């Protein structure tokens, strides 16, 4: 049976692979797509490099085999050996495409940051159980907050006196990653709840960029030279725009959420967050205030207009219809706030 896989390289071109499996080994491999290769016979070298590899070959092993067979001076534009490896792994694992699903798009009413974090867990679990289809949700919240990653230390990340002075809520989310200071109307946060098949065959690094490619397209069409900085930053030449985090549940569902700065209060951020010099130095700057550049300054557009444009790009690329959360989903999230997210045991699981 012929295997078929596709992978759109973030910021690059479409990679398509077709091949057969012969007793557990790749045979008749054919690479195609709208990328550029020089010289012309580089394509034959790539096909030959992949033929004979085992069906258990990793992305790294596939990329190494391709790199080894490429002629001296070969140029690959819009495609990389690793991207070909991702497309092959997606073919072998039966990965899904965005358009294989009927996406639901949610604009929820303003609720507490803690309830938003709880909703992320509720909706991801529902997708994993098959009780809800793949969903994109825009957060709206009713007060400022510091949201820390699942494994971060409260005392190392947060100045709790400043937090209290600003009436902000301290929230620990279920995904990893770094701390964020968020104010209503000053940030744009969205969450994707998807079956694991959508990112099947990808490592975490590839899946981050893959799930946010539509956002980069939206930002670029607004005049922002947006790009992805591994592992999980959306950035531009003017500074970091936002960051992503992920959590994969045992059911196979994936939670992917992103917060982008729209109109940041840099002074408040540096007062509430204990941003260490080491963390800033690996971003190439010594100033947290210079590190993040909000969307408002780069576009001059209202927050709502940017959100609407983002959603239009998502629908154009992946489809989607407006939906609503049920009263039962809101109630389950509130129960989870009471039993988990608001408890000292959860908030200070890493003191």
| Residue 127 and residue 269 share a domain | yes
pLDDT digits (tens, 9 = 90+) for 77-92: 999 999 999 999 999 9
| Residue 225 and residue 341 share a domain | yes
| Residue 314 and residue 204 share a domain | yes
| Residue 57 and residue 176 share a domain | no
Please compute Rg for the chain using Cα positions. Answer: 22
CB neighbourhood size of 206 (10 A): 22
| Residue 122 and residue 186 share a domain | yes
According to the model, what pLDDT value does residue 284 have?
Answer: 42
Check residues 272 and 290 and name the one with the higher pLDDT.
272
| Residue 86 and residue 105 share a domain | no
Check residues 265 and 140 and name the one with the higher pLDDT.
140
Q: How far is residue 187's CA from residue 140's CA, in Å, rounded to a whole number?
A: 9
Q: How far is residue 171's CA from residue 189's CA, in Å, rounded to a whole number?
A: 15
Domain at 79, CATH number: 3.30.390.50
Confirm if 30 and 17 have CB atoms less than 8 A apart: yes
| Residue 146 and residue 62 share a domain | no
According to the model, what pLDDT value does residue 9 have?
Answer: 87
| Residue 83 and residue 117 share a domain | no
Number of domains in the chain: 2
Check residues 251 and 26 and name the one with the higher pLDDT.
26
| Residue 147 and residue 71 share a domain | no
pLDDT digits (tens, 9 = 90+) for 291-315: 688 999 999 999 999 999 999 999 9
**Residue 70, domain extent:** 3-93
């Amino acid at each position: 049976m012929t295997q078929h896989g596709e992978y759109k390289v973030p910021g690059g071109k479409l990679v398509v692979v077709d091949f057969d499996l012969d007793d557990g080994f790749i045979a008749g491999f054919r690479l195609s797509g709208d990328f550029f290769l020089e010289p012309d016979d580089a394509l034959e070298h790539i096909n030959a490099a992949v033929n004979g590899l085992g069906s258990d070959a990793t992305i790294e092993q596939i990329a190494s085999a391709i790199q080894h067979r490429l002629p001296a001076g070969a140029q690959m534009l819009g495609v990389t050996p690793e991207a070909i490896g991702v497309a092959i792994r997606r073919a072998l694992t039966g990965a899904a495409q965005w358009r294989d699903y009927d996406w639901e798009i949610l604009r929820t009413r303003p609720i507490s940051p803690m309830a938003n974090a709880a909703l992320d867990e509720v909706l991801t679990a529902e997708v994993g159980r098959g009780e809800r289809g793949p969903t994109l949700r825009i957060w709206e919240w009713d007060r400022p907050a510091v949201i820390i990653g699942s494994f971060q230390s409260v005392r190392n990340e947060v100045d709790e006196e400043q937090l209290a002075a600003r009436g902000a809520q301290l929230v620990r989310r279920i995904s990893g990653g770094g701390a964020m200071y968020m104010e209503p109307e000053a940030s744009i946060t969205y969450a994707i709840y998807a079956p694991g098949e959508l990112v099947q065959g990808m490592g975490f690094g590839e899946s981050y960029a893959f799930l946010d490619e539509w956002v980069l397209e939206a930002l670029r069409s607004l005049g922002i030279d947006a790009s992805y900085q591994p592992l999980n930053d959306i950035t531009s030449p003017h500074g970091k725009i936002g960051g992503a985090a992920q959590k994969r549940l045992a059911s196979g569902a994936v939670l992917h959420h992103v917060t982008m700065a729209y109109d940041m209060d840099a002074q408040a951020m540096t007062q509430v967050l204990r941003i260490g010099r080491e963390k800033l130095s690996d971003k190439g700057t010594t100033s947290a205030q210079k590190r993040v550049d909000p969307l408002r300054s780069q576009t001059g557009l209202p927050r709502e207009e940017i959100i609407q444009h983002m959603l239009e790009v998502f629908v154009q690329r992946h489809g989607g219809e407006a939906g609503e959360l049920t009263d039962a989903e809101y109630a389950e999230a509130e129960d989870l706030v009471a039993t988990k997210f608001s408890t000292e045991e959860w908030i200070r699981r890493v003191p």
